Amino acid sequence: MLMSLTSLLSAGEKDEGITCLNKGSTVKAIYDKGSNGTVIQTNIKVGNGYKGGECMGRCGGGCDKWWAASAWAKDCLDHDICIVDQNGKNDLANDTNCGDEFVHAADDYVFGVLRGCSG
């Protein structure tokens, strides 16, 4: 397990704290997949669609809540990409593949707006 954790950290799959993103910038989204810890990395333009998902990097559910303040942050991007790659399955923190990314994104979702992560 320690070996797997070390490889994940060296690949960058970790809680990034509240790291704001700018819409239109290209960022490497990183997540680990399943119990074997395979690390997936994808370069994605923040705010764009990806495999049918929309607003990659926006914390919270989708693009349709234009009236709600939202943050654009790295951990939310990692979670978004993970969810889209898992065919839209999202069991939040209990999700086998994306649960840890959900936990990492929680502070971004709650405090990103206060931090000024407006994209």
Predicted local distance difference test score (pLDDT) of residue 52: 75
Q: Which residue has the higher pLDDT, 32 or 74?
A: 74
Q: What average pLDDT does range 69-93 have in this prediction?
A: 86
Instruction: Yes or no: say if 59 and 112 are a contact pair by the CB < 8 Å rule.
Output: yes
Q: What is the pLDDT of residues 2-36, one digit of tens each?
A: 333 434 444 456 778 899 999 999 999 998 876 67
How far apart, in whole angstroms, are the C-alpha atoms of residue 76 and residue 18? 10
How far apart, in whole angstroms, are the C-alpha atoms of residue 69 and residue 77? 17
Q: What average pLDDT does range 69-90 have in this prediction?
A: 86
Nearest to 45 by CA among 72, 19, 68, 65: 72
How far apart, in whole angstroms, are the C-alpha atoms of residue 51 and residue 104? 22
Predicted local distance difference test score (pLDDT) of residue 113: 87
In this prediction the pTM is: 0.82
For residue 119, is pLDDT > 70? yes
Instruction: Yes or no: say if 47 and 24 are a contact pair by the CB < 8 Å rule.
Output: yes
Q: What is the pLDDT of residues 22-71, one digit of tens each?
A: 999 999 999 887 667 788 899 999 998 888 778 899 998 767 666 677 89
Instruction: Yes or no: say if 90 and 80 are a contact pair by the CB < 8 Å rule.
Output: no
